[in-house]
Structure 1
Amino acid sequence: MKNNPIDPRVRLAIAQWPLGAPRGSVTTFCTEHGISRKSFYLLRARAQTEGQAAALEPRSRRPHHHPTRITDVVQRDALGVRAALESSGLDCGPISVHDRMKHLAMEAPSVASLARIFRDAGVARQEPKKKPRSAYRRFAYPAPNASWQLDATEYVLTGGRKCVIFQLEDDHSRLAVASYVTWEETSEGALAVVKQGISKHGVPQRLLTDNGSALNPSQLGKEGQLVKYVTSLGVAAITGKPYKPTTQGKNERFHQTLFRWLDRQPLAESLAQLQALVDRFDVIYNTERPHQWLPGRITPQQAWDATPVAEAPRPSREPGVEPRRSRADTYVQGEAVRRVGANAQVTVIGTSFTIGQAWFGEELVAIWDIETIAFFDQRGEFILSYLKPPRRTKSVTRKHALEIGTATSRVSPMS
């Protein structure tokens, strides 16, 4: 092979090559031993200038200079930044460390290099079976206040006393709209956090919750106080499918980020202390912590400020009755849940869109704006999108898809 090292016996023969060798003997020797004339004369010159011993050992091909090599100082800085983020209870993965080093005007290696540094240092583990981030595409509403997500999670104070934290999040910007700490998950607590969010940020167009009795017990045949209140303001109260918490996946992930941060703080002794900690976390989350699922990894506050807030809905005349939107408004912008039929299509805004036979019987989420319409599964993973066809278009086939995601079949739900 071309890059195989030259046999030591061949090297010795070259080092001892006689000065009076006949013409053509070098070419014959090189052909017999499978080496180039250039290599022959290079080794011979080295033996003449540095001695025969210098030609017997192959020299390292390692470059003398490494302009892209990450220095030990930069590696120590990266590990230090990661340790500081971890001790603060914030995300400390390669992306977070890269962004923080850039923010601190430090020399920041690439995300891939940081991942390798952390693995070599033993502070992170390799997960080859983990789904790559590029395989995910989450749907989001087109503007702030187009939809909020509300959920409650349990927490424990000193002495093992349990309490509940309500977290209200904007779907588009991931902004922590409001948080409220109380002893139990009740409709009063849900009302309190929603009213607090409305007083700060205005009335949203939709409010997504689970089917809990404190949030939206409509599927249980009951009318909840929260639903009654928000529908009187014109807000559409929507819920996920029963036993499928992934519909509220953004809020579930929000809980995890909060818990990771609270675990690094002193354990609260009262509701007031915990409320102060949660309020402090909301400020960090909204204004200091870049969000990895937002374009450009900006903060939720920057995402909120970058897009005009969605227009507040009109209050219904009758309490508890959701105001109907005109067909024109629905065609311009909206969302819907549709089941894929036997013909592998779903019908939205008066047009049948081909999704694929693999999705037969699955309920998908369709979200559209002025230009495009996109389809997602119940986990929020992108399936495909189309340019929105003109009105009264009967059907659109899959070959006209604008973009097709990596998901090709249904997957089992996971929280």
Structure 2
Amino acid sequence: MPWSEVSVVELRKEFVMLAGQPGAKVASLCRRFGISRKTGYKWLGRAAAGEMALSNRSRRPGSSPRRTAEEMEASVLAVREAHPCWGGRKIARRLHDLGWSDVPAPSTVTAILRRHGVALGQAVPAGPFQRFERARPNELWQMDFKGHFALASGRCHPLTVLDDCSRFNLCLAACGNERSETVQSHLRSAFRRYGLPDWIIADNGSPWGNGPDTPYTPLGVWLLRLGIGVSHSRPYHPQTLGKEERFHRTLKAELLAGPPFGDLRHCQTAFDRWRLVYNCERPHQALDMDVPATRYRPSERSFPEALPPIEYGSEHKVRRVQQLGWINFKGKAFRLPKAFAGYPVGLVPTTDDGLWHVIFASRHIAEIDLRNGSSKTVTHVSEHL
């Protein structure tokens, strides 16, 4: 299968960066990127000759012993022109990553910008804040829609998915709506390329939730069937999805603040180009100025094209959820979330007499109490920042 016609160079660069990480499985990456191993190794070989080999555009050599101070200043200004929101630290690190020797200190880069009349934003003082992150890639993905914006024709609803550990952007999709089937389609593409995460966190709104009291939707049920845990942010507490919120601010400042897009296709092309910059070129302060692609590894859990069967052990009492979410157990009716209608669930007793756990595809989703005939949905609410 050939490379996609959209953003060919961007796909090559991302492939090369991921394949170059320790422990990377080139054959698996080739399958996920839809190319042959011969093609993959060809681009790895060409990349070893320099970044310029991945595209037909000319590139400045990575190093030159005769480079003058004027050339360095010109390079600083060129990086700034390409990325108007970057400051001295990001520009200095990017020049280093491109192979320049004797890169000036970030403070010197900032002085060069000021000397040439380049406007710089005001530094925001850091307040007391404790950041939490997962220990390895794919333990947790954060997912959200950024607020929609107008196009020349229609509206765009950007869907974004971020790996919590590496800040690697796994999905940046220009969507025409926020429906469940739209999100599922883009997640399916991300799963095929990067594998399955252990857990996904989203907010309480549609399509991943129907409010704090109704956390399960058909989209969430599909994720549970894939063996992916689902959490929701604390209600009215957007800081729970802090990395997504910060990503949205960067997206707005570096891309969406520019000229308006004509349509969704035009918007997606711009998203693809900027996503490569964010993942593979833009130094990230929270990563000690590394780029996210150097910290990310695709998951070893591949996406199954056919959903696995729902099976329970002999210790489970199996019941099928009826319409509107009802199940009958030991002569009593109990209400479960409607999203599970038509699926079997397993019931196992707890150490409390009369209290039973309700399990769906290995996940604890509810509790029922035979003593008073009540049921309680289990909501996984995260305080993660």
1:198 to 191, 194, 201: 191
- Residue deviations 1:257-316 (CA, integer Å, cap 9, x gap): 222332476532111121122122222222222322224x222222114xx847689976
The letter of the residue matching 1:303 is: R
Alignment of 1:119-198 (within 5 A): 123-124=119-120, 127=123, 130-131=125-126, 138-159=131-152, 161-198=154-191
Query: What is the aligned-residue identity percentage?
Result: 24
- Residue deviations 1:318-363 (CA, integer Å, cap 9, x gap): 57826259xxxxxxxxxxx99xxxxxxxxxxxxxxxxxxxxxxxx9
1:110 to 100, 105, 126: 105
Change (3 A) 1:113 1:89: closer
2:196·2:302 contact (CA, 8 Å) conserved in 1? yes
1:211·1:239 contact (CA, 8 Å) conserved in 2? yes
What's the offset of the Cα at 1:177?
Answer: 1.0
1:149 aligns to what SS in structure 2?
strand
What's the offset of the Cα at 1:233?
Answer: 1.2
User: Which runs of 5 or more residues in structure 2 are unaligned?
Assistant: 1-67, 312-343, 346-358, 365-378
Aligned residues: 253
The letter of the residue matching 1:234 is: G
Change (3 A) 1:379 1:161: same
What's the offset of the Cα at 1:234?
Answer: 1.6
Match of residue 17 from structure 1: none
Change (3 A) 1:322 1:239: farther
What's the offset of the Cα at 1:221?
Answer: 2.2
Separation in 1, partners of 2:112, 2:130: 28
Considering only CA atoms, is the larger Rg found in Structure 1 or Structure 2? 1
Determine if the alignment matches structure 1 residue 93 to structure 2 residue 110: no
2:253 to 260, 263, 267: 260
Separation in 2, partners of 1:204, 1:125: 37
Change (3 A) 1:116 1:136: farther
Alignment of 1:322-361 (within 5 A): 323=362
The letter of the residue matching 2:82 is: S
1:271 to 229, 247, 264: 264
Determine if the alignment matches structure 1 residue 282 to structure 2 residue 281: no
Separation in 2, partners of 1:232, 1:218: 21
1:165·1:182 contact (CA, 8 Å) conserved in 2? yes
Match of residue 360 from structure 2: 321
Separation in 1, partners of 2:195, 2:264: 26
What's the offset of the Cα at 1:126?
Answer: 5.1
1:180·1:192 contact (CA, 8 Å) conserved in 2? no
**Larger CA deviation: 214-223 vs 237-246:** 214-223
Match of residue 299 from structure 1: 291
What's the offset of the Cα at 1:218?
Answer: 5.7
Separation in 2, partners of 1:379, 1:236: 15
**Larger CA deviation: 310-319 vs 189-198:** 310-319
Separation in 2, partners of 1:188, 1:218: 19
Where relative contact order (Cα < 8 A, 6+ residues apart) is larger, the structure is 2
1:166 aligns to what SS in structure 2?
strand
The letter of the residue matching 1:111 is: P
Change (3 A) 1:180 1:122: closer
- Residue deviations 1:144-179 (CA, integer Å, cap 9, x gap): 111111111134344373220101111112111122
1:180·1:189 contact (CA, 8 Å) conserved in 2? no
RMSD: 3.6
TM-score (ref. length: structure 2)? 0.56
The letter of the residue matching 1:114 is: V
Match of residue 30 from structure 1: none
Match of residue 229 from structure 2: 236
2:76·2:109 contact (CA, 8 Å) conserved in 1? no
The letter of the residue matching 1:95 is: R
What's the offset of the Cα at 1:209?
Answer: 0.5
User: Which runs of 5 or more residues in structure 1 are unaligned?
Assistant: 1-72, 326-336, 339-362, 366-377, 381-415
Separation in 1, partners of 2:129, 2:72: 31
